[in-house]
Amino acid sequence: MQLKKWFSWGMVIAWMAVIFSFSAQQATDSGNLSGSILIFIMKVINFLLPTIEVNQSFLHLLIRKGAHFSVYLILGILTSNALRLNGVSGIKQFGFSLLICALYAMSDEFHQSFVPGRGPSLQDVLIDSSGATVGILLYQAFTQKFKRL
């Protein structure tokens, strides 16, 4: 069981490193990554719905903000799991998980203030924290469901 505890926190730290690496990308590199995803999605849309008109700049914004939400959703799940394996459950698990994720989101935005072309954004902290909240709630719902089986 001790190995599971260490491994779970290792996964949290590893995922934080992934988030850090995304945040360390200069604005042009970050834009190129989300831009390549935009191109792929546009090709799919044009293939499936050739007559639909798509606002590409709005879709690009959704992709970028969706990435924030998604990576923190995963962080919320990983953090909740690590806390549960260390005996923290219920409202404490929710609170501590959200606190860890929100503090990391704030530090991540602070980190971006040192990256060329990037800057801190309160909006991104809120999106990140929302993603973490959904991840935490999904984790708690999932573990409650399987606890009853």
State the pLDDT confidence band at 29, using cuts at 50, 70 and 90: confident
Count of Cβ atoms closer than 10 Å to residue 82 Cβ: 24
d(CA 137, CA 130): 11
Report pLDDT for 149: 54
Report pLDDT for 71: 98
Average of pLDDT values for 30-50? 89
Give residue-wise pLDDT tens across range 13-27.
Answer: 999 999 999 999 887
Give residue-wise pLDDT tens across range 53-97.
Answer: 989 899 989 999 999 999 999 999 999 999 999 999 999 999 999
Let me know: does 122 contact 110? Beta carbons within 8 Å: no
CA atoms within 13 A on the CB side of 54: 20
So where are the chain's domains? 2-148
Handedness of CA 65, 67, 69, 72 (dihedral sign): negative
Report pLDDT for 112: 93
Provide the total of helices (H) and of strands (E) in the chain, helices listed first.
5, 0
